[in-house]
């Protein structure tokens, strides 16, 4: 076993305050928008405003992925298929991964969630359900067929968001109870036990 695999973990400051605020605000407003879309009043003003906040948060995350602290940058955690396969080989070991940031598999889930939410915001902005009430503010910028079709895509997107959120929660529980690694507290405090080495496949 290599020194990298046996090196003791140490607690480091990993997630910056803005990234942590982004994470929890995104969770709050995505859940609120989803619930308002499914069970809210017929006039979806509050749903729209939640969507605007989500759009602003996504723009922030895009910018922060290039100019933010190193752990928040896309270049830091996006890795190739080899790294993903290497991580998956050890994923089911009953021990913490101590990964210094988003692991290669988690990075894919981050990108998937951001992409689906971006698509969801876009379809919401251009949707026209033809009820003369809940028309997206940019619906007039596209053709009527696109605007009405966007309603179905928005509904499909809401189901994908639900699946990704449930998967996210399931992974957190898997890490907590199987790998004995707490992923929630570091996103609150910013500190996490890691093995900050290059090339680790755990």
pLDDT computed for residue 151 by the predictor: 95
Which has the closest alpha carbon to 125: 49, 66, 185?
Answer: 49
Confidence of residue 197 (pLDDT cuts 50, 70, 90): low
Q: State the residue for tokens 């969507």.
A: 51
Q: What mean pLDDT comes out for the span 151-155?
A: 95
Q: Which residues contact 9 (CB under 8 A, 6 or more apart)?
A: 96, 98, 193, 194, 195
pLDDT computed for residue 6 by the predictor: 62
How far apart CA 190 and CA 108 sit, in angstroms, is: 21
User: In the chain, what is the straight-line distance between the N-terminal and C-terminal CA atoms, in Å?
Assistant: 13
- Mean pLDDT, the chain, rounded, equals 91
Alpha-carbon distances, residue 93 vs 104, 175, 202 (angstroms): 16, 10, 9
Q: What mean pLDDT comes out for the span 10-21?
A: 95
Structure tokens at 74: 């896309």
How far apart CA 171 and CA 47 sit, in angstroms, is: 28
Packing angle of the helix pair 45-67, 104-126 (nearest 10 deg): 140
Structure tokens at 39: 């069970």
pLDDT computed for residue 2 by the predictor: 43
Model confidence over 22-78: pLDDT tens digits? 999 999 999 999 999 999 888 899 999 999 999 999 999 999 999 999 999 999 999
How far apart CA 97 and CA 60 sit, in angstroms, is: 29
Q: Domain coordinates of the chain in residue numbers?
A: 13-189
Task: Select the CATH number that applies to the domain covering 13-189 from these four: 1.20.950.20, 3.40.190.10, 3.30.565.10, 1.10.240.10.
Answer: 1.20.950.20
pLDDT computed for residue 196 by the predictor: 60
Q: What mean pLDDT comes out for the span 104-115?
A: 94
Q: What mean pLDDT comes out for the span 134-163?
A: 94
> From its phi and psi, is residue 119 left (phi > 0), alpha (psi between -120 and 50) or beta?
alpha
Q: Which residues contact 109 (CB under 8 A, 6 or more apart)?
A: 164, 167, 168, 171
CB-based contact 47:40 (threshold 8 Å): yes
Which has the closest alpha carbon to 102: 72, 80, 125?
Answer: 72
Give the predicted TM-score (pTM) of the model.
Answer: 0.89
Confidence of residue 199 (pLDDT cuts 50, 70, 90): very low
pLDDT computed for residue 63 by the predictor: 98
Say whether pLDDT at 12 is over 60: yes
CB-based contact 127:140 (threshold 8 Å): no
């Amino acid at each position: 076993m290599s020194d990298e695999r046996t090196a003791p973990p140490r607690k480091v400051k990993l997630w910056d305050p803005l990234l942590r605020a982004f994470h929890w605000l995104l969770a709050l407003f995505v859940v609120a928008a989803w619930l308002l879309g499914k069970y809210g009043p017929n006039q979806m003003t509050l749903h729209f405003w939640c969507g605007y906040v989500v759009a602003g948060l996504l723009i922030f995350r895009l910018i922060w992925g290039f100019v933010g602290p190193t752990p928040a940058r896309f270049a830091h955690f996006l890795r190739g298929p080899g790294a993903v396969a290497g991580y998956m080989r050890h994923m089911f070991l009953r021990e913490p991964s101590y990964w210094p940031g988003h692991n290669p598999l988690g990075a894919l889930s981050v990108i998937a969630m951001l992409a689906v939410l971006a698509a969801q915001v876009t379809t919401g902005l251009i949707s026209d359900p033809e009820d003369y009430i809940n028309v997206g503010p940019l619906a007039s910028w596209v053709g009527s067929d696109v605007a009405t079709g966007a309603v179905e895509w928005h509904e499909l997107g809401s189901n994908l968001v639900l699946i990704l959120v449930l998967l996210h929660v399931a992974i957190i529980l898997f890490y907590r109870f199987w790998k004995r690694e707490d992923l929630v507290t570091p996103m609150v405090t910013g500190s996490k036990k890691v093995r900050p080495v290059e090339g680790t496949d755990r």
